[in-house]
Amino acid sequence: MGFDAQGNNTEEAEFAFRMIYVIVPVVSMILAYLFIRGFKLDVTEQEKLQAQITARDATASDTPTA
């Protein structure tokens, strides 16, 4: 890329540096969106998850530890 931290950079090096700080976050956000777009968390789903957590915690507290 040719970036110099001392400040002696060409216009191409500065452009490449800026693109890294633009393209990497944008691509990351697009990928994150694609992974979570089908994840529906409404009140009903949240209540189901809370019931599972409560049941798990109750089972864990009933199990004796060594």
Residue 31 confidence (pLDDT): 96
Burial class (CB in 10 A: 0-12, 13-18, 19+), 54: exposed
To the question of pTM greater than 0.75 for the whole model, the response is no
> What gap in Å lies between CA 17 and CA 2, rounded to an integer?
9
> What gap in Å lies between CA 18 and CA 4, rounded to an integer?
13
Residue 51 confidence (pLDDT): 96
Tens-level pLDDT at each residue, the chain (66 residues)? 676 677 788 888 888 888 888 999 999 999 999 999 988 889 999 999 999 999 999 988 776 665
